[in-house]
Amino acid sequence: MNIEEYRGVWVFIEQRDGQLVDVGLELLGAGRDLADKLEVDLCGILLGHHVKELSNELFEYGADKVYVIDDPVLANYRTETYMKAVGDLVRKYKPEIFVYGATANGKDLASAVATEVMTGLTADTTILDVDVEKRLFEASRPAFGGNIMATILCKKHRPQMATVRPKVMKKLEPQPGRQGEIIEETIDLKEDDLRTKVLEIVRNAKKAVNLEDADIIVAAGKGIKDEKGFKMVEALADVLNATVGASRDVVEAGLCGHDHQVGQTGVTVTPKLYFAIGISGAVQHTVGMANSETIIAINTDPDAAIFNVSHYGVVADAFEIVPLLTEEFRKALQVKTEEGGVAHV
Amino acid sequence: MNILVCIKQVPDTKIIKVNPKTNTLDRSSAPAILNPYDAHAVEEAVRLKKIHGGKVVVLSMGPPQAKEAIKKCVEIGADEGYLISDRRFAGADTLATSYALYKAIQKLMDEDGIDLVLCGKHAIDGDTGQVGPGIARRMEIPPLTNVIKVEEVDPAEKMIKVRRKIENGYEIIQSTLPCLLTVEKEINEVAYSPLPNMLRAARYNPIVWTVDDLKDVDMKQLGLKGSPTIVGKMWPPAKSDGAQMLDDEGDVKKQAEKIVSLVLEKRELFEAKGGER
């Protein structure tokens, strides 16, 4: 492999039912920075059926080129077809860096493509940078269950690939009318020759737990101990009209579903207000919430790592202070709404 | 139906500590366990075997002590366990790992066919989820990741239908057999092992293979040499300026009042929503 032949920064653009998934646009934002540093094009890889039109939006969000393969066999994501299509593009156009959103399908695809083209892949990264002189991609991620951060390099293979957590990178401000080049490619696969078939896709109309869009999250950690503690946290969330989040320990203890989990193996959130209650602050968790606008942490341990990423901290027993908070908020918010002329139920 | 399950012994990352001086992991601080997702994969394999017959074979790569994790799988109900263990495998990233496991799988397939391969969604010490799809690609079989339910298996027609968890929902996907599934925890509950399994596991001695036991191995693709990725540097998680502590001499009531007034300053959080409540 002559790695000098490989140039350009690629972003896999995931679409679902013809709608762009946010993480692709976020990665164009991060990719723009890498491409500018390396003085190369930023390219979007767009696969699907009837998706070509989406290219314009990709140009507005920073792409210089979009490689499109529009074919009925690509209508729904399948490893089999997408791996073939992307593998062919990589072999033909030779990008030096290729990033994918760390969604279910993005991770699935990246893993398959890495083996298909025999290159290195770093999973679930949260920081991307590049050593311009060596043209070396520096993809960093929490490692070992989030106990430490590590930068992973891929020196001798190309493309240098990584999956990136949704919500970690920032979209650029769209520039209406920004133009780019569309390069159309084809795929040589017939439906009858394929071994897999998507029979049905079921999307929950409304997510039971929507942490990503919540303005306020009240999150529980190991310190809330048991069901009684969790109920107490729920009560506070209730009075604040907040969504309940949780650390991995709480989910694994069975106190709530995985949908509530914030962190490396859960979701990444950026609410206006994040209460961390009894959460020690392992990177596993903080990587998923550190970008929240205001973080208030409550923990009995004055040395808990959560205080390092928080804006306000209280060393207190959650079992004492949380019920007080719930009560105070109940009183305060009730008065507030009545002043505003809206009856409080 | 012969089912192969790839498993890994991992340090319990919930307990593992980082040495603050060297920024390395203190592995002695955490017990080695069977990767929790893999336990679900074995459980599912055992469940399918009960319906369709055949056997459940477990394969792992790791140091000799990883035999313990294989014995744990036998406790859950696996029939046989193989460990590939050799210094030449050491330092493998996900690409080199899938290669080594694939070489062992080829040997197993020569002995007995494999109809289905199962893996956990990811290992908790790496959280990558890349080895399963890598193995599938090498075997040239379809990978179906994030499986939360096996809907239907028809070994005679060589067909399987599974439910895959995707963002905000799920999909039902059909594949020919053999194929490879990576499973989520929701797929089943790992049952308590019956006593005969426990006794069998206690006496069971997994078969250990070295590189020399495998055929046509390209040494360049093994271990550190076969790994495109390397760790550049490691550092402890960023420490910011830290929180402004509201101490109030430990007076909980005062602390609570302070938090409430801080939060209420963010008026936009509440005003717009007053009417919805």
Residues B130 and B63 in one domain: yes
Q: Do A203 and B168 touch (CB under 8 A)?
A: yes
**CA B113 – CA A122 distance, rounded (Å):** 33
Question: Is A150 annotated among the ligand-binding residues?
Answer: no
Q: Where in chain A is the domain with CATH 3.40.50.1220?
A: 211-338
| Residue B227 falls inside a structural domain | no
Q: Closest chain B residue to A158 measured between Cα atoms? A: B228
Q: Do B130 and A114 touch (CB under 8 A)?
A: yes
**CA A167 – CA A23 distance, rounded (Å):** 7
Hey, which bits of chain B come out as E strands? 3-7, 9-11, 17-19, 24-26, 32-34, 56-61, 80-84, 116-120, 143-154, 159-166, 169-176, 179-183, 207-209, 229-235, 244-245
CATH of domain A3-193: 3.40.50.620
Question: Is A263 annotated among the ligand-binding residues?
Answer: yes
Residue among A241, A272, A333 minimizing CB distance to B266: A272
Residue among A111, A315, A329 minimizing CB distance to B129: A111
Residue A109 has pLDDT above 90, yes or no: yes
The SS3 call for residue B100 is helix
DSSP B146: E
CA distance B173 to chain A (A): 4
* % of chain B with per-residue pLDDT over 70: 92
Q: Do B242 and A307 touch (CB under 8 A)?
A: yes
Please report residues of B whose CB lies closer than 8 A to that of A80: 142
Residues B166 and B192 in one domain: yes
| Residue B51 falls inside a structural domain | yes
Q: Do A333 and B127 touch (CB under 8 A)?
A: no
Residues B67 and B110 in one domain: yes
Residues B23 and B103 in one domain: yes
Residues B88 and B213 in one domain: yes
Q: Do B137 and A112 touch (CB under 8 A)?
A: yes
**Which band of pLDDT confidence, cut at 50, 70 and 90, is reported for residue B156?**
very high
| Residue B246 falls inside a structural domain | yes
Q: Closest chain A residue to B252 measured between Cα atoms? A: A321
pLDDT at B276: 39
Q: Do A124 and B127 touch (CB under 8 A)?
A: yes
Residue A345 has pLDDT above 60, yes or no: no
Residue B274 has pLDDT above 80, yes or no: no
Please tell me the pTM assigned to this model: 0.84
Question: Is A299 annotated among the ligand-binding residues?
Answer: yes
| Residue B231 falls inside a structural domain | no
Chain A touched by B152 (CB under 8 Å): no
Tell me yes or no: is domain A211-338 CATH 3.40.50.1220: yes
State the count of interchain CB pairs (< 8 A) between A and B: 271
Residues B127 and B196 in one domain: yes
pLDDT digits 0-9 by tens, B23-67: 666 777 788 999 999 999 999 999 999 999 999 999 999 999 999
Question: Is A179 annotated among the ligand-binding residues?
Answer: no
Is the omega angle on the peptide bond into residue B236 within 30 degrees of 0, that is, cis?
no
Chain B interface test: which of A83, A163, A291, A314 (most B C-beta within 10 Å): A314
Cα dihedral sign, A341-A342-A343-A345: negative
Residues B157 and B256 in one domain: no
Q: Do A241 and B239 touch (CB under 8 A)?
A: no
CATH code for position B187:
3.40.50.620
Residues B182 and B268 in one domain: no
pLDDT at B220: 96
Q: Please list, in sequence order, all residues whose beta carbon lies within 8 angstroms of the beta carbon of residue A303, skipping any fewer than 6 positions away.
A: none
Q: Do B25 and A200 touch (CB under 8 A)?
A: no
Residue among A110, A265, A295 minimizing CB distance to B127: A265
| Residue B232 falls inside a structural domain | no
Q: Do B174 and A199 touch (CB under 8 A)?
A: yes
Residues B180 and B247 in one domain: no
Residue B71 has pLDDT above 90, yes or no: yes
Residues B33 and B126 in one domain: yes
Please report residues of B whose CB lies closer than 8 A to that of A265: 127
**CA A13 – CA A206 distance, rounded (Å):** 24
**Which band of pLDDT confidence, cut at 50, 70 and 90, is reported for residue A205?**
low
pLDDT at A344: 44
**Which band of pLDDT confidence, cut at 50, 70 and 90, is reported for residue B111?**
confident
Q: Which of A110, A125, A2, A15 is nearest to A69 (CA)?
A: A15
pLDDT at A145: 65
pLDDT digits 0-9 by tens, B124-155: 888 899 999 999 999 999 999 999 999 999 99
Residue B229 has pLDDT above 70, yes or no: yes
Chain B interface test: which of A6, A17, A100, A115 (most B C-beta within 10 Å): A115
**CA B184 – CA B165 distance, rounded (Å):** 8
Q: Closest chain B residue to A240 measured between Cα atoms? A: B270
pLDDT digits 0-9 by tens, A15-37: 998 999 999 999 999 999 999 99
Residue B99 has pLDDT above 60, yes or no: yes
Q: Average pLDDT over chain A, rounded to whole?
A: 92
Crossing angle, helix A79-93 and helix A104-116, to 10 degrees?
50
Please report residues of A whose CB lies closer than 8 A to that of B242: 307-308, 310, 313
Whole-Å CA distances, A327 to A137, A237, A331, A334:
51, 12, 6, 11
The SS3 call for residue B252 is helix
Residue A127 has pLDDT above 50, yes or no: yes
Q: Do A119 and B174 touch (CB under 8 A)?
A: no
The SS3 call for residue B16 is coil
**Which band of pLDDT confidence, cut at 50, 70 and 90, is reported for residue B273?**
very low
**CA A89 – CA A187 distance, rounded (Å):** 10
Q: Where in chain A is the domain with CATH 3.40.50.620?
A: 3-193
| Three-state SS sequence of chain A | CCHHHCCCEEEEECEECCEECHHHHHHHHHHHHHHHHHCCCEEEEEEECCCHHHHHHHHHCCCCEEEEEECHHHCCCCHHHHHHHHHHHHHHHCCCEEEEECCHHHHHHHHHHHHHCCCCEEEEECEEEEECCCCEEEEEEEECCCCEEEEEEECCCCCEEEEECCCCCCCCCCCCCCCCEEEEECCCCCHHHCCEEEEEEEECCCCCCCCCCCCEEEEECHHHCCHHHHHHHHHHHHHHCCEEEECHHHHHCCCCCHHHEECCCCECCCCCEEEEECCCCCHHHHCCCCCCCEEEEEECCCCCCHHHHCCEEEECCHHHHHHHHHHHHHHHHHHHHHHCCCCCC
**Which band of pLDDT confidence, cut at 50, 70 and 90, is reported for residue A336?**
low
Would you say B205 and B169 are in contact if contact means Cβ atoms under 8 Å apart? no
Question: Is A78 annotated among the ligand-binding residues?
Answer: no
Domain that holds residue B199: 2-221
Residues B181 and B45 in one domain: yes
Q: Please list, in sequence order, all residues whose beta carbon lies within 8 angstroms of the beta carbon of residue B155, skipping any fewer than 6 positions away.
A: B1, B52, B54, B115, B177
**Which band of pLDDT confidence, cut at 50, 70 and 90, is reported for residue B22?**
low
pLDDT at A335: 55
What would the two tokens of residue A343 be?
Answer: 């009856």
Q: Do A340 and B274 touch (CB under 8 A)?
A: yes
- Higher confidence at residue A148 or residue B246? B246
Count the domains in chain B: 2
| Residue B226 falls inside a structural domain | no
Residues B169 and B270 in one domain: no
**CA B88 – CA B2 distance, rounded (Å):** 29
